Copies of this chain bind each other. A is one copy, B any other.
Amino acid sequence: MSSGGSMGMGVGISPGNVSVYHGSNLKVFDRRIRVAELVLRCVICGLGVLAAALLASDTQVREIFSIRKKARFTDMKALVFLVIANGMAAAYSFIQGLRCAVSMIRGNFLFNRTLAWAIFSGDQVMAYVTVAAVAAAAQSGVLGESGQTELQWMKTCNMYQKFCNQVGEGVVSAAVVSLSMVMLSFISAFNLFRLFGDSSNKVKNNTCSGCW
């Protein structure tokens, strides 16, 4: 436990280990975390826009016994939710990524607790929203692909093959977005924790707040 702690988490910024690590390991590690954060925010922004565009532009018209039928993403509420969620995630990540890039270029890292909590909370909320949206859309997608004979819901994807393929591409993009968002919220939790961390693994009897 404690060896894992000192390996994985013990790169904090206490006076004790700054002197040891700061010249090489800590700076490299810091830089990697920063770059990972920026890359993830860019991935979310790009794939979020892609997913929303793929889904929102997806239509297919079929004629069945001279009746024109048009499939659109608005036919499924889950896809509308997914488009909105991905639009939100992309916009959020664009703003956050811009801030991230500007602060990296300028090299100034003004830090306060409220801001760090706000960023962590924002990442968390976006992660939950995108995970929920992908889950709902994936459920709809599975129903469209394989139907549910017990409930007399027929497969629709053999009728609207092109429409379904494009929905599938959109959902895969959105799944990558939500996974990236989950990873990002772990990184922002780690940053929050590490920035204020001291590396002393002391037993604290009086000041413990949670149930450990």
* A99 & B211 in contact (Cβ 8 Å cutoff): yes
Q: What's the Cα separation between A155 and B113 when bound, in Å? A: 50
Q: Which residues of B contact A156 (CB under 8 A)?
A: 151-153
Which A165-193 residues have a C-beta within 8 angstroms of B?
182, 185-193
Q: Which residues of B contact A71 (CB under 8 A)?
A: 150-151
* B114 & A1 in contact (Cβ 8 Å cutoff): yes
* B104 & A211 in contact (Cβ 8 Å cutoff): yes
**Given A78-B139, A120-B189: 6 more A-B contacts, CB < 8 Å:** A5-B112, A75-B148, A76-B148, A110-B203, A188-B210, A192-B193
> Of the candidates B30, B37, B132, B188, which one forms a contact with A131 in the assembled complex, judged by CB atoms under 8 Å apart?
B132
Q: Which residues of B contact A77 (CB under 8 A)?
A: 139, 142
Q: Which residues of B contact A152 (CB under 8 A)?
A: 153-154, 156
Q: A24 in the interface, Cβ–Cβ < 8 Å?
A: no
* B114 & A206 in contact (Cβ 8 Å cutoff): no
Q: A58 in the interface, Cβ–Cβ < 8 Å?
A: no
- Chain B residue nearest to A139 (CB atoms) is B136
